Amino acid sequence: MPNQKRMFIRFALYMGLDVTLFFLVYQMMSPRIENIWIYFIFLTVTLLLIYALYLEYQKQLIDLIQPQRLLKERDYQIHILKNELIQKDKQIHLITSFTGQGMLLLNDKKEILFMNAVFKKILQVTDSDSKNYAIWIRNQQVKDQIEETFKTKEKSILNHILYNKNIQVSAIPTTDHQQIYVLVVLDDLTEKIQLQNIKRDFFSYAGHELKTPITILKGYAELIKEQVITGNETKEVSAKMVDLADDMSSFVDDMLMLSRLETFTETPLESISFKEVILDTIQTLEEPIKKKDIKVYLDLEDASIEADKRDIEKLFKNIIENAIKYNKEQGSIWIQLKKKMNQTEIIIKDSGLGIPKDEMDRIFERFYRVNQFRRIPGTGLGLSIVKHIVNKYHGNISVESVENEFTKFIILL
């Protein structure tokens, strides 16, 4: 505070000079002052002068300090406003990041005012201080769409392929005090389109899978109706019709279960013993096991899980059924159940036909069937259901296989 110090020194000098002058005058005039009132008046005037100097000092001091105080208050208010803006900016970024949409706001100079993290992620760009949107958006079609929106002031929605993804780009203009702003919104439709394709394939495949047995059933029924077949032939055809109906029923059950798993429908949970479910499954599949003369080797520890019993039963039924179906005559199946920390490791291995290396990545896809096994009856939904069940209970499943030697499923639940 150098100005305050100078003012104080000046005030002290003035006051000291005034007091010194008073005493000098007093010394000179005291012998001549006979009336005490004259002395008193002189003293009073001197004191008033000193007080006036003091008031002037105070006024100048206040005038000096006041702007500094106001400046401090203004700096403090600016600091508060700055923090509020930072917090609001963080809130906007947080809110927009949860929408799943990329957002970019441009002013009338086509400078970036706002861009969220999703926008950067979709366009696969790194951080930059540049306000030029053209640096961020390299696709010429998207640039042309934005430029056209600035020009026409009309909303536009177009689909583009960006980085092998189906991106819907919406350019939305808005005006404020005759200034135009454009909000660019990116929607990644890749998964949505994939789901639509899956649904289309699902209904196409389901229609094909059901149409074939229905056509056969209709043919058998007409043969019986027209009495083309009689006696023992009728029994044989009836048995085939029952088998076809069972296959259709199994296919529909699989579709319904897959739908339930994909929609994450809540179901009541209970403590399920893995060992009991495995033993029950082997007993249920006893007939096909005996038919192929397959040996089953068990090494089962006691372990349980809180789950929907239908899920665990279906998981083991699908894998063990595959181990039988794609096994060799007089083959083997090994089932091991082992507790590991907070999880249970389940290993199911067969001595079957194995899976070709180039098809391993696709075995969990719905309706997918290994080419060389298409002659063996199946819906192509079994392993897809298994994968969904494992995911539902936050587990993990992996596969090891060598053609004509073995296939091994390792599950952690």
Render pLDDT for 169-181 as a digit per residue (tens, 0 to 9): 888 888 877 788 8
Residue 367 above 80 pLDDT?
no
Q: How far is CA 228 from CA 222, 224, 239, in A?
A: 8, 6, 17
Residue 29 above 60 pLDDT?
no
Residue 127 above 70 pLDDT?
no
**Domain ranges for the chain:** 2-80, 99-188, 189-265, 269-413
Structural tokens at position 98: 């949860």
Structural tokens at position 353: 């036909």
For the chain, the straight-line distance linking the first and the last C-alpha, in angstroms and rounded, comes to 73
Residue 409 above 60 pLDDT?
yes
In contact, 362 and 198? CB cutoff 8 Å: no
Angle subtended at Cα 96 by Cα 91 and Cα 98, rounded to the nearest 5 degrees? 105
3-state SS assignment for residue 305: strand
**Top-ranked range on mean pLDDT: pick from 36-40, 249-253, 386-390:** 386-390
Looking at domain 99-188, its CATH class is alpha beta
Contacts of 303 (CB under 8 A, 6+ apart): 273, 274, 275, 337, 338, 339, 344
pLDDT band with cut points at 50, 70 and 90 for residue 279: very high
Averaged pLDDT for residues 247-263: 74
Residue 410 above 80 pLDDT?
yes
Averaged pLDDT for residues 270-285: 89
Residue 3 above 60 pLDDT?
no
Q: How far is CA 360 from CA 44, 324, 402, in A?
A: 111, 19, 10
Structural tokens at position 29: 């005039």
pLDDT band with cut points at 50, 70 and 90 for residue 373: low
Residue with more model confidence, 92 or 110? 110
Structural tokens at position 343: 């999880």
Residue 188 above 60 pLDDT?
yes
Residue with more model confidence, 130 or 391? 391
Averaged pLDDT for residues 180-196: 81
**Which pLDDT value is given to residue 243?**
74
In contact, 178 and 107? CB cutoff 8 Å: no
In contact, 153 and 180? CB cutoff 8 Å: yes
> Counting beta carbons within 10 angstroms of the beta carbon of residue 100, is it exposed (0 to 12), middle (13 to 18) or buried (19 or more)?
exposed
Looking at domain 269-413, its CATH class is alpha beta
What value does the mean pLDDT of the chain take?
76
- Counts for the chain of helices (H) and strands (E), in that order: 11, 12
Residue 33 above 60 pLDDT?
no
39-88 per-position pLDDT tens digit: 556 656 666 666 666 666 667 666 666 666 666 777 667 666 666 666 66
**Which pLDDT value is given to residue 162?**
77
Residue with more model confidence, 199 or 311? 311
**Alpha-carbon span 364 to 348, nearest angstrom:** 16
**Alpha-carbon span 138 to 122, nearest angstrom:** 12
> Counting beta carbons within 10 angstroms of the beta carbon of residue 22, is it exposed (0 to 12), middle (13 to 18) or buried (19 or more)?
middle
As a whole number of angstroms, the longest Cα–Cα distance in the chain is: 165
Element (H, E) at 370: none
Contacts of 73 (CB under 8 A, 6+ apart): none
3-state SS assignment for residue 380: coil
Structural tokens at position 409: 């499923």
**Alpha-carbon span 411 to 349, nearest angstrom:** 11
Lowest-pLDDT choice from 1-15, 52-66, 308-322, 323-337 = 1-15
Residue 328 DSSP one-character state: P
pLDDT band with cut points at 50, 70 and 90 for residue 99: low
User: Treating both helix axes as pointing N-terminal to C-terminal, what angle do 232-262 and 309-325 enclose, rounded to 10 degrees?
Assistant: 130
Considering only CA atoms, which of 312, 317, 330 is closest in space to residue 282? 317
Domains 99-188 and 269-413 fall in the same CATH topology: no
Name 105's bridge partners.
Answer: 114, 183
Question: Residue 307 — φ and ψ, nearest 5°?
Answer: -160, 175
**Top-ranked range on mean pLDDT: pick from 159-173, 246-260, 284-298:** 284-298
Residue 102 above 60 pLDDT?
yes
Look at the domain 189-265 and name its fold: Helix Hairpins (1.10.287)
